[in-house]
Amino acid sequence: MKDWLPWIVLPAAVVAVAVVIARGLVRRDCFSGLADRDAGIIAIDLLFTMCCFVLGGLLTQVILGATGWTKPLSQGQHASAVLLGQMAMGVPIVVLLWFRFNGRDGGWRGFGFNVGPWPLVLRQTAGALVFGMLVVLAINYAIVWIGELRGYPKPPDGHALLKSIRDAAEPMTRYKLLISAVVVAPILEEVIYRGLVQTSLLDIVGPKRRWTVILITATLFTSVHIGIAQWQTLPGLMIFGVVLGWLYEKTGSLLPSILTHMAFNAAMISLMFLMT
Q: What would the pLDDT profile of 201-211 be if each residue is shown by its tens digit?
A: 988 888 889 99
Residue 47 contacts residue 194 (beta carbons within 8 Å): no
Closest-CA residue to 42 (of 105, 102, 103, 100): 100
Cβ neighbours, 10 Å, residue 163? 16
In-domain check, residue 64: no
In-domain check, residue 250: yes
Q: Tell whether the torsion through CA atoms of 30, 32, 33 and 37 is positive or negative.
A: positive
In-domain check, residue 214: yes
In-domain check, residue 97: no
Q: What is the pLDDT along the chain (276 residues), one digit of tens a residue?
A: 456 788 889 999 999 999 999 999 898 888 887 877 777 888 888 888 888 888 888 888 888 888 888 778 888 888 898 899 898 888 888 888 888 888 777 788 888 888 767 777 788 889 999 999 999 999 988 998 888 887 777 776 667 788 888 888 888 999 999 999 999 999 999 999 999 999 999 888 888 899 999 999 999 999 988 888 888 889 999 999 999 999 999 888 899 999 999 999 999 999 888 876
Cα–Cα distance measured from residue 77 to residue 253, given in angstroms and rounded to the nearest whole number: 35
What is the separation of C-alpha 27 from the centre of its chain, rounded to a whole number of angstroms?
23
Closest-CA residue to 256 (of 86, 101, 127): 127
The DSSP code for 232 is: G
On the 0-12 / 13-18 / 19+ scale of CB atoms within 10 A, 73 is middle
Residue 1: per-residue pLDDT: 46
On the 0-12 / 13-18 / 19+ scale of CB atoms within 10 A, 151 is exposed
Instruction: Report the 3 state secondary structure along 201-218.
Output: HHHHHCHHHHHHHHHHHH
Per the structure, the count of domains in the chain is 1
Prediction pTM value = 0.92
In-domain check, residue 163: yes
In-domain check, residue 168: yes
Secondary structure class of 112 (helix, strand, coil): coil
In-domain check, residue 95: no
In-domain check, residue 87: no
> In which domain, by residue range, is 261 found?
5-38+109-274
Q: CB-hemisphere CA count at 13 Å for 130?
A: 13
Q: Which residues of 206-217 are buried (b: 16+ CB within 10 A; e: fewer)?
A: eeebbbebbbbb
Cα–Cα distance measured from residue 129 to residue 14, given in angstroms and rounded to the nearest whole number: 15
